[in-house]
Chain A
Amino acid sequence: MGTERGMTTGEGLGPLRSLGPVDWVRRNLLSSPLQILWTLLAVGMILWVFPPILRWAFIDASWSGETRQDCTGDGACWVFIKVRLAQFIYGFYPEAERWRVNVTFLLLCGLGAPLLFPRFPKRLWIGAVLLLVYPMVGALLLNGGVSGLPRVETSLWGGLMLTLVIAGVGIVASFPMGVVLALGRRSAMPVIRALCIAFIELVRGVPLITILFMASVMLPMFLPEGVNFDKLLRALVGVALFAAAYMAEVVRGGLQAIPRGQYEAAQALGLGYWKMMGLIILPQALRIVIPGIVNTFIGLFKDTTLVLIIGLFDLLGIVQAATSDPNWLGYTKESYVFAGLVFWVFCFGMSRFSVVLEGRLRVNGKGV
């Protein structure tokens, strides 16, 4: 391909020669009349669409101040977002206790960051702590009620913090459940297989809203008097089960891509079922389906917004609620742009992480 391109401009210097900026423009934007036309159209579109957006979001926007009256320009009123930012992040979590949310988040960053570097020492241990110990510490910190920490009811949780809690628990819980369900669906034991298929097809065929609604409204009706699960806990279980069904199908796709010879070689060496799966089959299968897994996680992250239906205020929910504040009526645009941007940052981060992970594993396991 490289040589072909070189030939169109009459310089066959080989495919790997890097291009100067002028050359690049000439080759990629202006190489034929049709391409020139497309380039002009594209530039026209950009000039037509972007200036108004930039003007609204930055040039004419109001940034400083405390009240509605400070929003004088024709552009966006970011003052509104600024004033409400703490609520968007912490929900109704008491102001004096917000440090607990911060500590929980910082702990997550501190434990998670080393895992991004393949050569960091003791990564396995850090990962184990993150998966096994951290959730309990986080739950104790946020929930309180022990060792001097006042209890903060989950009904006060909200905003970005709630979104992250639901998405985080959903991701961490749905992954192993999905793997087990996928293995179960391919099991040789008919009862296990039937149970897994039934669960997956049932959960997958129902909207998340339905599951959340049932978990929130119908579950208490079947529980004995006095037994009462926390509303957030019910939402967490609902989200995790829902994501697990999707995860199971993604993982199953990976399992099906592994040739039979891999199973046979593992068996012929005397490995039992769990060792064969854990050491040979799953490491290869999961690697193949990283894009699908991350896709499911991103979907799950955005689906957390549906918890609004059972009266939990996630980031989008609380932003939406703020727009109906009589002091700040009419600033829905800013709210949704802000919420969209925050969601995008997290989802794009996950997407990039998936790309990095794929690249790293491909270098290691060339043959896969």
Chain B
Amino acid sequence: MDKVGTGETRTESDRPMIRMEGVHKWYGEFHVLRDINLTIHRGERMVVCGPSGSGKSTMIRCMNRLEEHQRGRIVVDGVELTNDLKDIEQIRREVGMVFQQFNLFPHLTIMKNLCLAPTWVRKMPRLEAQEIAMNYLERVRIPEQAHKYPGQLSGGQQQRVAIARSLCMNPKIMLFDEPTSALDPEMIKEVLDVIVGLAEDGMTMVVVTHEMGFARTMANRMMFMDGGEVIEENTTQEFFDQPKSERTKSFLSQILSH
């Protein structure tokens, strides 16, 4: 920031991965996001929490333009998100996303779910894509399901496939939008373990979740949102031990009390 032409001289590694500046969004009259400012650097793992309807999912979905923002700037890996379709598609190639409802493609086998984007978007040869897919399936510990269809897998397995599918694009950032909210309780852990594994490898991540124990182990930054605003942003340790805001405190006491 202090030198002229920093954009040229700065190495790619200290460029922020995601930067939001004064972002606002409305659904009709409803003000969902109010003046969001945040910077996420390479290797950072941020967990976003807050009551439902607080705008956290909307915010994460703005990061790869599944939702449009109406005011402010969002810059992802040096590319600003505007109406330019080329830019949007380029950013989406580098940003993986995992959804609450898995959203696997039900008409394709697990293997084809994984290979589809690498072969069609990255133009990777089929065999290479299959090899990479198999690696990631092993990593999420379900290589034996490669030739089944999504409908034949449990929810936890489907979500792990969804994670592997995103990883096959070799993304620079992973976005998780409540990845365990649609799962039966006994399957939550197997999915969280995979995400923790990714965190240990240094993947840059933004995770919307209500799983506070998980947040505490994997996040290095926490953000609390309410009513479309960022109420508090802090390091994980301080967030849990000495929250600054009263609203954070009451939210944490509610969510941790049971």
Contact = CB atoms under 8 A, between A and B. Distances in A.
Contacts of B149: 364-367
Interface string B90-125: 101101110101011111100000001100110000
Nearest to B151: A367
Interface stretch (A61-69, A139-147, A278-286, A289-297): A278-286
A366 B116 contact: no
Nearest to A268: B97
Interface stretch (A108-116, A120-128, A258-266): A258-266
A368 B107 contact: yes
Contacts of B89: 270, 272
A104 B104 CA distance: 44
Contacts of A261: 99, 101, 103
Counting chain B CB atoms within 10 Å of each CB, the highest count among A266, A268, A368 belongs to A268
Contact of B66 (A259, A268, A284, A367): A268
B93 to A, nearest CB: 4
B66 A269 contact: no
Interface in A238-282: 259, 261-262, 264-272, 275, 279-280
A286 to B, nearest CB: 10
Nearest to B168: A269
Nearest to A368: B106
B107 A268 contact: no
B155 interface: no
A193 interface: no
B94 to A, nearest CB: 8
A268 B96 contact: yes
Contact of A271 (B64, B95, B97, B121): B121
B152 interface: yes
Contacts of A275: 120-121
A284 B150 CA distance: 14
Interface string B110-154: 000000110011000000000000000000000000000111100
A251 to B, nearest CB: 16
B56 interface: no
A271 B66 CA distance: 13
Nearest to A266: B105
A265 B66 CA distance: 10
B61 to A, nearest CB: 8
B221 interface: no
A287 interface: yes
B186 to A, nearest CB: 21
B147 to A, nearest CB: 11
Contacts of B152: 366-367
Nearest to A284: B107
Counting chain B CB atoms within 10 Å of each CB, the highest count among A267, A269, A367 belongs to A269
B103 A367 contact: no
B165 interface: yes
A269 B107 contact: no
A181 B252 CA distance: 52
Interface string A128-160: 000000000000000000000000000000000
B105 A280 contact: yes
B169 interface: yes
Given A265-B162, A272-B89, A365-B107, 14 more contacts: A267-B92, A269-B93, A269-B117, A269-B169, A270-B89, A270-B121, A271-B121, A275-B121, A284-B105, A366-B106, A366-B151, A367-B149, A367-B150, A368-B107
Interface of B: 64, 66, 85, 89-90, 92-93, 95-97, 99, 101, 103-108, 116-117, 120-121, 149-152, 162, 165-166, 169
12 contacts: A259-B103, A264-B99, A268-B99, A269-B117, A270-B93, A270-B117, A275-B120, A279-B116, A284-B106, A366-B106, A367-B104, A367-B152
